[in-house]
Amino acid sequence: MSKAFDSIKRGLLQAAEHAGGHAPQPENQRFASVWDALADTPEQAARMKAHSALRMALEAELVAYPVAIEPGNDTTAWGAVVPDLPGCFSAGDTLEEAMIQAEEAVTAWIEVALDDGQDIPTPSHIEALRAAHPEFEGWLWALVKIDPAMLDNAVERVNISLPRRVLRRLDARIATRRSASVRLLFD
């Protein structure tokens, strides 16, 4: 198993223990050969496995990212930082607005990471983050839940009508690519 998959699996087990529940069974392990067959590289197969494990946790509603919130006042905004997602932060004029913005920032961060083929870090426990980040002393902590649908990469067939010029451009683009996955998508 890859380091990324093992890391997410450990995170899921910790999240389940923290929530007082049972960890989801890693049913996706039995499909490893399918992932390996679909993937172009072992790294891509590992990412597919890790994303599936995270999606399973999201579907079980076990995943929520901790957010450190810097209190605001009349002259400064409330700041929100998501320590588990490097560079993910937001702000708002009120606590409620800061939390809404934090949820949007987490969603955007994950979407961009998935589009770039990056692994999605599992959430840490708030207490572990407090100990690891003394710079957040005096800040409030909250959790932002993630919508499981955002990780759904299921292929859905749609019937559409496009102008011929657009179809020709698509056909030309596909013809220049030699990736089997792209050709399969349009067959």
Is 27 contained in some domain? Answer: no
For CA atoms 37, 52, 41, 153, the dihedral sign is positive
DSSP 44-113: HHHHHHHHHHHHHHHHTT--EEEEEEE---SSSPEEEE-TTSTT-EEEESSHHHHHHHHHHHHHHHHHHH
Residue 126's H or E segment, with its range, is helix 126-132
Domain around 73? 64-154
Is 177 contained in some domain? Answer: no
pLDDT for the residue 137: 93
10-28 residue pLDDT tens: 555 555 454 444 444 444 4
User: Which pTM value belongs to this model?
Assistant: 0.54
Is 22 contained in some domain? Answer: no
Is 178 contained in some domain? Answer: no
Is 85 contained in some domain? Answer: yes
Using only the alpha carbons of the chain, give its radius of gyration. 20
Is 132 contained in some domain? Answer: yes
pLDDT for the residue 121: 87
Number of domains in the chain: 1
pLDDT for the residue 49: 62
Is 146 contained in some domain? Answer: yes
CATH code of residue 86: 3.30.160.250
Find out whether 99 and 67 touch, Cβ atoms under 8 Å: yes
